[in-house]
Chains A and B, each alone.
Chain A
Amino acid sequence: MNSNLVYFDYASTTPVDPRVAEKMHECLLLDGNFGNPASRSHEFGWKADEAVEKARLHVANLVKADSREIVWTSGATESDNLAIKGAARFYKDRGNHIITSKIEHKAVLDPCRQLEREGFEITYLDPDENGVISLDNIKKHVKDSTILLSIMHINNELGAVNNIEEIGKFTRENNIIFHVDAAQSTGKLPIDLSKLDVDLMSFSGHKTYGPKGIGALYVRRKPRIRLEALIHGGGHERGFRSGTLPTHQIVGMGEAFRIAAEEMEKDNKKIAKLADLFWKEVSDIEEIYLNGSFKNKIPNITNISFAYIEGESLIMALKDVAVSSGSACTSASLEPSYVLRALGRADELAHSSIRFSFGRFTTEKEVKMVAETTKRVVHQLRELSPLWDMYKDGVDLEKVEWVTH
Chain B
Amino acid sequence: MYSRKVIQKFEETLKNPKAHNVGRMDVKAKNVGTGMVGAPACGDVMRLQIEVNDKDVITDCKFKTYGCGSAIASSQQMIEMLIGKTLEEAKNIKDREIAELLELPSIKIHCSVLAEDSIKKAIADYESKKA
Contacts and interface: CB of A to CB of B under 8 A. Distances in A.
Given A313-B72, A327-B68, A387 B14 contact: no
Contacts of B72: 313, 384
A383 interface: yes
B41 interface: yes
A312 B68 contact: yes
A392 to B, nearest CB: 11
Nearest to A351: B43
Contacts of A381: 14
Given A329-B43, A384-B14, A403 B38 contact: yes
Given A384-B17, A389-B24, A348 B64 contact: no
B45 A328 contact: no
B110 to A, nearest CB: 7
Contact of B121 (A319, A397, A403): A403
Contacts of B39: 402-404
Contacts of B46: 386
Interface residues of B, number: 36
B10 interface: yes
A384 B48 CA distance: 12
Given A383-B17, A386-B45, A329 B68 contact: yes
Interface string A300-322: 00000000111011001101000
Interface string A327-340: 11100101010000
Interface string B58-97: 0000001111110110000000000000000000000000
Contact of A404 (B10, B14, B38): B38
A189 to B, nearest CB: 34
B117 A387 contact: no
B81 to A, nearest CB: 19
A384 B44 CA distance: 12
A317 B46 CA distance: 18
Contact of B41 (A308, A319, A348): A348
A309 B64 CA distance: 12
B113 interface: yes
A380 interface: yes
B45 A405 contact: no
A397 B37 contact: no
Contacts of A403: 36-39, 117, 121
A319 B8 CA distance: 12
A336 B37 CA distance: 19
A54 to B, nearest CB: 43
Interface string B85-117: 000000000000000000000010010011001
A175 B65 CA distance: 55
Contacts of B47: 386
A39 interface: no
A402 B45 contact: yes
Contact of B67 (A313, A319, A388, A404): A313
Given A402-B38, A403-B39, 9 more contacts: A313-B67, A327-B68, A347-B41, A351-B40, A381-B14, A384-B17, A389-B64, A403-B37, A405-B37
Interface of A: 308-310, 312-313, 316-317, 319, 327-329, 332, 334, 336, 346-348, 351, 377, 380-381, 383-389, 397, 402-405
Q: List the 3 closest A-B pairs by CB distance, nearest first.
A: A402-B39, A348-B40, A329-B68
